[in-house]
């Protein structure tokens, strides 16, 4: 079930309508957000999104913009495009309780980013000591211009596969 009042649809193949394609910043298997271990995230209260069961070890910039770490460990990350589009990335709370151990940041805090740039390398083997299946959650904060958000429940390769197709609401003519 998607987030309360949500527009996210997890499907087997993306629809053909036009929209804004957001490439996956991580490699892994996309699953419903309800499978997150953290209750607020699983309930969809941090935004609409998906859980990615990690199968790679790098976070890549899906677009040009900026990257901001929202805590000291780097557990919560905000990627923002110049047009205001925002992706929030939430690593499991164990990353915070282990003080960011296993994170190797490739950029400075609050850095400008370029599509394809490696932002973070992380140690999946270390995360596997804390978690049965290392994962992170990628969410899109609700936006008035979003009509529907589509994502495919399958394996995504970072930057090659679209994580989200955002169908925008029609603009009103004056």
Closest to 25 (Cα-Cα) out of 111, 110, 120, 94 = 120
Fold of 8-160: Glucose Permease (Domain IIA) (2.70.70)
* Domain range summary for the chain, segments of one domain joined by +: 8-160
Question: What does the pLDDT look like over 71-110, one tens digit per residue?
Answer: 766 678 999 998 889 999 998 877 666 666 788 889 998 8
Closest to 31 (Cα-Cα) out of 14, 13, 60, 10 = 10
Round to whole Å and give the CA distance between 37 and 105.
25
Q: pTM value?
A: 0.88
| E strand or H helix that includes residue 130 | helix 124-130
121 pLDDT higher than 60 = yes
Residue written as token pair 């429940």: 153
More confident residue, 98 or 168: 168
DSSP 83-103: TS-EEEEE--HHHHHTTTTTE
Round to whole Å and give the CA distance between 21 and 41.
23
Specify the pLDDT at position 95.
67
Long-range contacts of 14-17 (CB under 8 A, 24+ apart): 14/150, 14/152, 14/162, 14/165, 15/150, 15/165, 15/167, 17/167
Question: What does the pLDDT look like over 45-56, one tens digit per residue?
Answer: 777 899 999 999
3 pLDDT higher than 60 = no
Q: How confident is the model at residue 1 (pLDDT cuts 50, 70, 90)?
A: very low
More confident residue, 18 or 74: 18
């Amino acid at each position: 079930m998607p987030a309360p009042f949500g527009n996210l649809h997890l499907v087997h193949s993306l629809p053909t309508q036009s929209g804004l394609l957001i490439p996956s910043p991580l490699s892994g298997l996309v699953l419903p957000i309800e499978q997150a271990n953290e209750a607020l995230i699983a309930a969809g209260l941090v935004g609409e999104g998906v859980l990615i069961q990690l199968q790679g070890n790098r976070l890549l910039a899906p677009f040009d913009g900026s990257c901001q770490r929202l805590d000291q460990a780097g557990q919560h990350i905000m990627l923002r495009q110049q047009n205001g589009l925002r992706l929030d990335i939430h690593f499991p709370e164990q990353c915070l309780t282990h003080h960011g151990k296993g994170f190797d940041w490739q950029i400075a805090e609050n850095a400008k980013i370029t599509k394809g740039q490696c932002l973070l390398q992380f140690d999946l083997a270390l995360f596997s000591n804390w978690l049965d299946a290392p994962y992170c959650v990628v969410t899109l904060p609700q936006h008035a211009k979003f009509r529907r958000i589509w994502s495919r429940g399958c394996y995504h390769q970072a930057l090659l596969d679209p994580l989200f197709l955002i169908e925008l609401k029609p603009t009103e003519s004056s």
